[in-house]
Amino acid sequence: MKFKSKLPYIEGHIFSYMSGLANQYNAINLSQGFPNFEPAQELKDLVARCLAENTSQYAPMPGLPALREEIARKALKCFGISVNPDSEVTIGCGATEMIFTAIAAFVWPGDEVIIIEPGYDCYRPSIDVAGGKVVVYKMKAPEFKINWQEFANYITPKTLMICISSPNNPTGSLMNKEDMDALAGLVKGTDIIILSDEVYEHMVFDGAVHQSPLIYPELRERTISVFSFGKTLHITGWRIGYAIAPQQLTNELRKVHQNTVFSASHPLQKAIALYLAQNDSYLNLPEFYQKKRDVFLQAMGKTRLIPLQCRGSYFQLFDYSAISDEGDFAFCERLVKEYGVAAIPVSRMYSDRHDDRLIRFCFAKTDDVLISAAERLDKL
Ligand code: GLN
């Protein structure tokens, strides 16, 4: 069969590859980002209850009204903004679906979309499928900040969209108020859409506050913000995420969502809605994950891996350049095979495979697992 692949560069999925390798070698898996602990029992019980309550047919296309209302309530509580649950919230099959959907809904062939790297690896393929032109802004180690004066040079009359993500995966860096003001200044008076990946919104540490562009009126009118119940409720396998966007953008977003997945799981949406109506324990996540980061950092203190600053997300970067000259992919393969710990090579989160000899560990794990991993890495 002759055909032209739209994504010829995809050779697999680094997160699945490393998890597979971890399983094969019986290693501690700190590579792919997911918790090794269970969600709240109460939430699981609600799923059982909802399954028994007439939820086996399609949920409404934009998402279950009760859950959209909870999302609007959460946005008011966390961001102090008013969100219309009917016209501004769309529930999808995970944040990844919402990101693809947002890009597919707006990007035409030839449109430029700016992405920031290192970053999660789903933006570029979505833009390529839509025929858009990917423009990469690279943040520099070790701070991974955005220099907005430099960034301004990446914006052209063809720029249709800018994808941002804070807290950033994999670096744990955050965008602050100054970043948001600078971005607002750059897009003012243009038709540029902001696609904001905020899946780690509740994982911000050391007193930092998550800055959503939704809070800034001049950004709010042009922003599609994407969130993840997978991250917030420890249910990455349930595949429920959502997008908040002004009505005009939401209308277009839903047209693509309707024709890709139509609607997300009905019983799971209902269970999450009931859970959120009586429980806001996600507000404790900063403290919960900061403790894990600190347990991990303390245990890793004995190793020769040098930590970079992690201010958010559930990822911690380490510099191994004092230990080896190997490329980060080879180093990670060796870590699994010889030391029994799996990590993600950060070069895989740059399109040009930029390699600063950094690796990413996920610390969404029970303390015993974090401590055992550090003990194994102490032998490096
Ligand atoms: N977001 C997760 C990570 O960065 C992985 C998501 C996935 O594997 N689809 O590790």
Q: In sequence order, which residues have a C-beta less than 8 Å from that of residue 139 and are 6 or more positions away?
A: 116, 117, 118, 145, 146, 168, 171, 173
pLDDT at 12: 86
Distances (CA, A) of 101 to 258, 273, 349: 10, 23, 21
42, pLDDT greater than 90: yes
Q: Quick one: which atom of ligand 1 is closest to the CA of 121?
A: 4
Q: What H or E segment, with its residue span, contains residue 316?
A: strand 315-319
**Domains along the sequence of the chain with CATH:** 14-39+283-377 (3.90.1150.10), 41-281 (3.40.640.10)
Residue 183 in contact with residue 152, Cβ under 8 Å?
Answer: no
Residue 149 CA to ligand 1 centre (angstroms) = 31
**What SS3 state is found at 249?**
helix
- Please state whether beta strands 306-307 and 241-244 pair in parallel, antiparallel, or not at all (unpaired): unpaired
Residue 120 CA, closest ligand 1 atom number: 4
Instruction: Kindly state the tokens that stand for 146.
Output: 């955005």
Q: What is the DSSP letter of 118?
A: S
What is the pTM (predicted TM-score) of this model? Answer: 0.97
Please provide the average confidence, as pLDDT, over all residues in the chain.
97
Distance CA 183, CA 204 (A): 21
Q: Take atom 9 of ligand 1 and give the residue whose Cα is closest.
A: 15
Reported as a single tens digit per residue, the pLDDT across 319-378 is 999 999 999 999 999 999 999 999 999 999 999 999 999 999 999 999 999 999 999 999
Please state the rounded mean pLDDT for residues 21-44.
Answer: 97
Token pair for residue 302? Answer: 């004995």
Ligand 1 pocket member 15 (CB < 6 A):
yes
Token pair in block for residue 369:
């697992």
Q: Is 33 in the pocket of ligand 1 (CB under 6 A)?
A: yes
Q: Ligand 1 centre and the CA of 96: distance in Å?
A: 9
How many Å apart are CA 251 and CA 236, to the nearest integer? Answer: 27
32 lines ligand 1 (CB under 6 A): yes
Among 8-12, 71-75, 100-104, 144-148, the minimum mean pLDDT is found in 8-12
How far is it, in rounded angstroms, from Cα 118 to Cα 197? Answer: 14
Neighbours of 352 (CB within 10 A): 9
Return the structure tokens found at 129.
């499928």
pLDDT digit string, tens, across residues 123-178: 999 999 999 999 999 999 999 999 999 999 999 999 999 999 999 999 999 999 99
The residues, ordered by sequence, that sit 6+ positions from 204 with a Cβ below 8 Å of its Cβ are: 167, 174, 210, 286, 311, 312
**Dihedral class, residue 155 (left if φ above 0, else alpha if ψ from -120 to 50, else beta):** beta
Q: Which atom of ligand 1 is nearest to the CA of 199?
A: 1
